[in-house]
């Protein structure tokens, strides 16, 4: 049983980042809705502290979520961030109010009073000797009166109470956001809160996690057989390696080739897992089934749904062939869990239906095994490294389950997929080969996801003095930490030039290459 920090979420866009920072400090934490009941908080074993997130709401508004009373009676330190601070003030006898001076973005905050949370953590010291922090703010409301027992911990000229603390009770609150990287000392502040103030031991690390997870999987599964949809992507690969370590040959992976994989992907996945790791992998070539069902369909959502259904068909057929498969393993990770909880509450609109293996028919009768459901992607990667997976697999860009099916706009045809595979392979090869001299890293490593998109429109070109009338490919490369928002990557022109000329020269059928310069939002990463 790990010591844990409970993060209560009031709907901030950056709540996940609080959890990331706490985990990075080596402390286990979980995010739960801000209106959990008192009994839930009392039931938290190993609870060492509570963090209250920000929110779009206003703490003084009647209808806003209140912090459960038990939070302040649990006998553990509490850190309120932004809305969390304003709620703390409002509920403990101080005051939070609407302000006519909103602050968004960079701010300089003066630290006061030598609190355990901020003492010594300044970014610079003014001529008058005041310790200053460079922070990121995002608020329109503010605390205007300290609750009894609290002292001032931080201020800015427009926000005189930008931090407050009641050190006897272990209550701390910040108006700025320590969880975002723009707050330079943010990571140190959160680490100090969870280790020094809450007294957590930093007992969360991946090598130890492997031992625990292996024991859990063995206890859960017993002698049953498990099947796992293996994509060759990071999550399912790490899940496969972990489960294989726990139960060896009781695991059978099913790798589905839907005809929409990248160049040579099937061979790579089979050789890594079957040959190198000795994991049982069934390679199902379902190209005809997928392509048949997709013929004539051009609506993106309809395509996604067909692909999702076909995956289930394949898993169902394959599990029926095994002696006693009782479990379906998935590479579900913590952001999937948080996001699906958020979408169940109806707060978030559905932009795209993810193909996932979920929604399995009842007659399949499989229980779910999800050993990564508590981990963030960066932790999954560390786990993969600790399990001995090759770095090229662990650090590869994510690839969506529907594959090239959502990268060929409109109707999917084999001819298009073949052209796209070759263009995409050239782009990826050049990204690997091109090194940025400032960082010493390849452009593949400097981007979070990169791929080519097939546009089923023809344009005129001239090649070898002759006229061409061929298809267009768009290149997409993005940088992002969480895939929720993303910037297009400023790839060097020389790289774009090389890729474009190679694609046009080497892939007969494509005579034009464009580069996608849209960020997310308002665009999304994939084109469909
Ligand atoms: N071609 C495939 N064959 C079998 N299962 C697949 C295939 N593609 C996707 N899946 C299943 O769908 C799940 C979700 O896909 P997703 O792309 O989110 O994860 P991933 O492929 O494991 O990792 P990454 O996000 O790095 O691509 C996978 O974990 C896997 O179980
Ligand atoms: O496994 C997946 N099944 C899907 O159906 C799917 N759709 C999008 N993606 C991936 O999700 C991230 C965000 O993509 P979007 O900005 O296009 O929504 C990007 O990393 C996308 O590649 C998917 N992954
Ligand atoms: N980021 C936040 O938590 C903002 C809290 C509140 N909505 C405000 O505007 O001050
Ligand atoms: Mg994938």
Whether residue 177 lies in the annotated active site: yes
Residues 6+ apart with CB under 8 A from 365: 326
**Centroid of ligand 1 to alpha carbon of 4 (angstroms):** 30
Can you name the CATH fold of 413-515? GMP Synthetase; Chain A, domain 3 (3.30.300)
Ranges in the chain, pLDDT < 50 = 347
Does 230 contact ligand 1 (Cβ within 6 A)? Answer: yes
**Centroid of ligand 3 to alpha carbon of 217 (angstroms):** 41
| Helical pair 234-247 and 377-386, crossing angle rounded to 10 deg | 50
Which-ligand-closest: CA of 87?
3
233 assigned binding-site residue: yes
The DSSP bridge pattern shows strands 28-33 and 4-9 to be parallel
442 assigned binding-site residue: no
Pinpoint the residues of the chain covered by CATH 3.40.50.880. 4-197
Quick one: pLDDT at residue 292?
Answer: 97
**Centroid of ligand 2 to alpha carbon of 439 (angstroms):** 28
> Ligand 2 pocket check: which of 233, 352, 523 to mutate, most ligand atoms within 8 Å of Cβ?
352
Does 483 contact ligand 2 (Cβ within 6 A)? Answer: yes
CATH number for the domain formed by residue range(s) 206-394:
3.40.50.620
465 assigned binding-site residue: no
Residues 6+ apart with CB under 8 A from 505: none
Whether residue 82 lies in the annotated active site: yes
Q: Give the tokens for residue 8.
A: 């209560």
pLDDT tens digits for range 267-295 = 999 998 888 889 999 999 999 999 999 99
Three-state SS at 397: coil
Q: List the one residue out of 320, 480, 294 whose CA is nearest residue 402.
A: 294
What class is the 4-197 domain? alpha beta
d(C-alpha 475, C-alpha 269), whole Å: 24
Residue ranges with strand state E in 175-290: 225-229, 251-257, 280-285
Which-ligand-closest: CA of 231?
1
Q: How many CB atoms lie within 10 A of CB 492?
A: 12
Q: Does the bond joining 81 to the residue before it have cis omega, within 30 degrees of 0?
A: no
d(C-alpha 14, C-alpha 489), whole Å: 22
Query: Can you tell me the ipTM of this complex?
Result: 0.85
Q: Does the bond joining 151 to the residue before it have cis omega, within 30 degrees of 0?
A: no
Quick one: pLDDT at residue 378?
Answer: 87
d(C-alpha 384, C-alpha 373), whole Å: 15
pLDDT tens digits for range 319-364 = 888 877 899 999 988 878 777 766 555 545 566 676 665 556 777 7
Quick one: pLDDT at residue 356?
Answer: 64
Paired strand residues for 225 = 325
Does 177 contact ligand 3 (Cβ within 6 A)? Answer: no
> Ligand 3 pocket check: which of 11, 52, 56, 107 to mutate, most ligand atoms within 8 Å of Cβ?
56
Pinpoint the residues of the chain covered by CATH 3.40.50.620. 206-394
Q: What are phi and psi of 70, to 5 degrees?
A: -60, -25
> Ligand 3 pocket check: which of 86, 88, 89, 90 to mutate, most ligand atoms within 8 Å of Cβ?
86
pTM (whole model) above 0.90: no
Quick one: pLDDT at residue 137?
Answer: 93
99 assigned binding-site residue: no
CA-proximal residue: ligand 2, atom 6 (nearest): 400
Class of residue 215 by CB neighbours under 10 A (exposed 0-12, middle 13-18, buried 19+): exposed
Quick one: pLDDT at residue 355?
Answer: 61
Ligand 2 atom with the smallest distance to the CA of 523 is: 16
- The CA-to-CA distance between both ends of the chain, in Å, stands at 43
d(C-alpha 406, C-alpha 416), whole Å: 12
Does 147 contact ligand 1 (Cβ within 6 A)? Answer: no
d(C-alpha 469, C-alpha 482), whole Å: 39
d(C-alpha 168, C-alpha 422), whole Å: 65
231 assigned binding-site residue: yes
d(C-alpha 383, C-alpha 396), whole Å: 14
Does 140 contact ligand 3 (Cβ within 6 A)? Answer: yes
Of 2, 112, 139, 177, the active-site residue reads 177
Pinpoint the residues of the chain covered by CATH 3.30.300.10. 413-515
Quick one: pLDDT at residue 12?
Answer: 87
Whether residue 30 lies in the annotated active site: no
């Amino acid at each position: 049983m790990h010591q844990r920090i409970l993060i209560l979420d009031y709907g901030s866009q950056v709540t996940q980042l609080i959890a990331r920072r706490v985990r990075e400090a080596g402390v286990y934490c979980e995010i739960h809705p801000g209106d959990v009941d008192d009994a839930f908080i009392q039931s938290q074993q190993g609870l060492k502290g509570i963090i209250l997130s920000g929110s779009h709401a206003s703490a003084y508004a009647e209808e806003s979520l209140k912090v459960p009373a038990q939070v302040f009676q649990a006998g553990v330190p509490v850190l309120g961030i932004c809305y969390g601070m304003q709620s703390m003030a409002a509920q403990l006898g101080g005051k939070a109010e609407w302000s006519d001076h909103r602050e968004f973005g960079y701010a300089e905050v003066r630290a006061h009073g030598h609190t355990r949370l901020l003492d010594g953590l300044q970014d610079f010291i003014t001529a008058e000797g005041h310790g200053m922090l460079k922070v990121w703010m995002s608020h329109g409301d503010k605390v205007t009166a300290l609750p009894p027992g609290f002292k001032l911990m931080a201020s800015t000229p427009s926000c005189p109470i930008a931090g407050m603390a009641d050190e006897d009770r272990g209550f701390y609150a910040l108006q700025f956001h320590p969880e975002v990287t723009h707050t330079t000392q943010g990571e140190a502040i959160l680490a100090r809160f969870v280790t020094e103030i809450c007294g957590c031991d930093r007992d969360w690390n991946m090598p130890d996690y492997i031992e625990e997870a292996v024991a859990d999987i063995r206890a859960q599964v017993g002698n049953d057989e498990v099947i796992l949809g293996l994509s060759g992507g990071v999550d399912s690969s790490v899940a496969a390696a972990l489960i294989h370590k726990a139960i060896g040959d009781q695991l059978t992976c099913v790798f589905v080739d839907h005809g929409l994989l990248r160049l040579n992907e099937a061979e790579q996945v089979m050789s890594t897992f079957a040959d190198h790791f000795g994991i049982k992998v069934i390679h199902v070539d379902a190209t005809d089934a997928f392509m048949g069902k997709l013929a004539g369909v051009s609506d993106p959502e309809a395509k996604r749904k067909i692909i999702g259904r076909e995956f289930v068909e394949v898993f169902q057929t394959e599990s029926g062939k095994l002696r006693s498969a009782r479990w379906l393993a998935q590479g579900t990770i913590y952001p999937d869990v948080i996001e699906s909880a958020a979408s169940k509450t109806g707060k978030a609109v559905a932009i795209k239906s993810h193909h996932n293996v979920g929604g399995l028919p009842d007659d399949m009768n499989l229980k779910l095994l999800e050993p990564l459901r508590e981990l963030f992607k960066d932790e999954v990667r560390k786990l993969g490294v600790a399990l001995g997976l090759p770095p090229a697999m662990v650090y590869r860009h994510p690839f969506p389950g529907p594959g090239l099916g959502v990268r060929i706009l409109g109707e999917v045809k084999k001819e298009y997929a073949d052209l796209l595979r070759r263009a995409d392979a050239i782009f990826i090869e050049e990204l690997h080969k091109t090194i940025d001299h400032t960082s010493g890293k390849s452009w593949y490593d400097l981007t979070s996801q990169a791929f080519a998109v097939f546009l089923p429109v023809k344009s005129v070109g001239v090649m070898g003095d002759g006229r061409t009338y061929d298809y267009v490919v768009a290149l997409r490369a993005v940088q992002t930490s969480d895939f929720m928002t993303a910037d297009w990557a400023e790839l060097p022109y020389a790289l774009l030039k090389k890729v474009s000329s190679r694609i046009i020269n080497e892939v007969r059928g494509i005579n034009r290459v464009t580069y996608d310069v849209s960020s997310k939002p308002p665009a999304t990463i994939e084109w469909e």
